[in-house]
């Protein structure tokens, strides 16, 4: 059971203040040019040692939800580096954890008996009250399926889940797979939490193309079928050929953006289809059924020699919403696996999705941030804050906040062994935080 750990820090802060004049502080505290702060704060800012950079005038004073990957803990973090609320769970996180608008928690957790255990596996999703009671629980974890990485509550109250589905080697081979052994392509499932029934489903295996054997189904020229997925693009011994790791739902367009790590792409899937239509190449608002209506990041994944390859493993396709700067664009954390440097891109999503053979289908880059000191080969992501700054989660380090002009104004070092999933931001006056006494 999650334990609410409220900690009183007044005594600690008082001691820190008392000894501030003689203590050495490695943090960089930036004050306005021209001398004294024209609006001095009578209460001095006391920074935790994890805060390495803090620009009081330019940092955005928000609260960040921090989930520790594969651990039983999470916490709410303020900009002075204080953990203002902590959570403890009775099972390790399977990565994603969110605070719902009603103050409840939605998270994915690891099944201790999981049989499919690729990185990011989960198995169980839960909705929990603020006092730790499990109000809803759904488990899908056996030799053929396992929930993994991400979870999202849709506007209709249903829960969207990401699933690895096992296709036995013999069955996969009959459809044109050349991979040795069983394969585990991606499936999306929408669950009604009132009935635990699957109300919508999309299977990537229904939308494949292969150019290895003309005598088998799904044969075609990969470059001429950009709406299809090359089943043989990434052969791998363990069968984890795609390794999707996150998604975001676009309410306005009724589509799902799916980050597919081993393809270094984001796939766009029509959610307006019925499950029957989603298994075909026709139907839905975009007329393509469950075929990809758009894709970007790595045109070489469908043998397209046009367009720049910007993807090099990627996480968290974050559609900008709710009036933040760049609304309608997408932030994408490109891990930079080969280069050893990560990049955060802001990409302009097309008004009309177009995906053509032998054409540059890549979206325009609106903004990007790259720093030689930022590299995480796994997890990570970025959020756009209300003041226009961008909060970057470098999974194996901590957090960076940069202005639109790419000026670093906040840096939090999580310490050795840190492994953070994402950074979800909340305004300090967000009513949802009142549930946690903030």
* Closest by Cα among 230, 257, 256 to 241: 230
Say if residues 137 and 124 touch (Cβ distance below 8 Å): yes
Share of the chain above pLDDT 70, in %: 90
Res. 14: pLDDT tops 50? no
DSSP 237: T
Give the range among 25-29, 254-258, 368-372 with minimum mean pLDDT.
25-29
Residue 362 CA to residue 125 CA, distance in Å, equals: 34
Q: What is the pLDDT of residue 417?
A: 87
The residues, ordered by sequence, that sit 6+ positions from 188 with a Cβ below 8 Å of its Cβ are 160, 161, 162, 163, 201, 202, 247, 256, 258, 269
Structure tokens at 261: 């790590």
pLDDT digits (tens, 9 = 90+) for 66-110: 999 999 999 999 999 999 999 999 999 999 999 999 999 999 999
Q: Where are the beta strands (DSSP E) in 69-122?
A: 73-77, 83-88, 93-99, 105-110
Residue 224 CA to residue 112 CA, distance in Å, equals: 44
Q: What is the pLDDT of residue 31?
A: 44
Mean pLDDT value across the chain: 92
Residue 217's Cβ-count burial label (10 Å; 0-12, 13-18, 19+) is exposed
Largest CA distance in the chain: 79
pLDDT digits (tens, 9 = 90+) for 309-322: 999 999 999 999 99
The stretch 162-177 carries a mean pLDDT of 98
Res. 10: pLDDT tops 50? no
Q: How confident is the model at residue 131 (pLDDT cuts 50, 70, 90)?
A: confident
Res. 174: pLDDT tops 90? yes
Residue with tokens 């509550």: 153
Res. 35: pLDDT tops 50? no
Q: Are strands 62-68 and 73-77 parallel, antiparallel or unpaired?
A: antiparallel
* Closest by Cα among 155, 106, 152, 157 to 129: 106
Q: What is the pLDDT of residue 8?
A: 33
């Amino acid at each position: 059971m999650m334990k609410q750990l409220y900690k009183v820090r007044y005594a600690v802060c008082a001691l820190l203040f008392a000894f501030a004049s003689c203590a050495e502080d490695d943090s960089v505290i930036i004050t306005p040019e021209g001398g004294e702060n024209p609006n001095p704060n009578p209460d001095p800012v006391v920074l935790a040692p994890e805060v390495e950079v803090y620009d009081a005038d330019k940092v955005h004073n928000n609260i960040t939800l921090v989930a520790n990957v594969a651990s039983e803990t999470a916490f709410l973090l303020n900009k002075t580096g204080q953990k203002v609320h902590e959570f403890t769970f009775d099972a390790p996180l399977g990565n994603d954890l969110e605070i719902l608008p009603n103050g409840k928690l939605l998270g994915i957790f690891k099944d201790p008996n999981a049989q499919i255990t690729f990185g990011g596996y989960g198995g169980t999703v839960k909705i929990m009250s603020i006092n730790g009671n499990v109000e809803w629980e759904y488990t899908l974890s056996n030799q053929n399926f396992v929930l993994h990485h991400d979870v999202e509550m849709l506007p209709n109250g249903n829960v969207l889940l990401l699933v690895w589905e096992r296709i036995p080697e013999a069955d996969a081979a009959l459809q044109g797979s050349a991979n040795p052994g069983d394969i585990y392509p991606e499936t999306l499932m929408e669950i009604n939490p009132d009935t635990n029934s699957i109300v919508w489903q999309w299977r990537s295996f229904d939308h494949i193309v292969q150019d290895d054997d003309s005598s088998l189904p799904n044969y075609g020229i990969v470059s001429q079928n950009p709406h299809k997925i090359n089943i043989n693009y990434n052969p791998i011994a363990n069968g984890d050929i795609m390794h999707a790791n996150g998604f975001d739902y676009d309410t306005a367009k009724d589509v799902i953006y799916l980050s597919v790590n081993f393809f270094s792409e984001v796939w766009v899937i029509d959610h307006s289809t019925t499950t029957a239509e989603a298994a075909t190449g026709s139907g839905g608002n975009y007329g393509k059924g469950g075929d990809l209506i758009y894709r970007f990041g790595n045109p070489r994944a469908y043998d397209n020699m046009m367009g720049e390859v910007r993807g090099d493993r990627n996480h968290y396709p974050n559609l900008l919403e709710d009036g933040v700067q760049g609304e309608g664009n997408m932030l994408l954390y490109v891990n930079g696996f080969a280069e050893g440097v990560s990049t955060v891109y802001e990409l302009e999503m097309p008004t009309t999705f177009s995906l053509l053979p032998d054409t540059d289908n890549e979206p325009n880059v609106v903004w990007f941030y790259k720093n030689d000191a930022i590299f995480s080969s796994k997890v990570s992501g970025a959020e756009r804050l209300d003041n226009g700054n961008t909060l970057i989660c470098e999974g194996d380090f901590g957090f960076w906040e940069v202005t639109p002009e790419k000026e670093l104004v906040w840096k939090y070092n999580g310490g050795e062994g840190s492994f953070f999933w994402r950074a979800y931001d909340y305004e300090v006056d967000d009513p949802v935080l009142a549930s946690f006494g903030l």
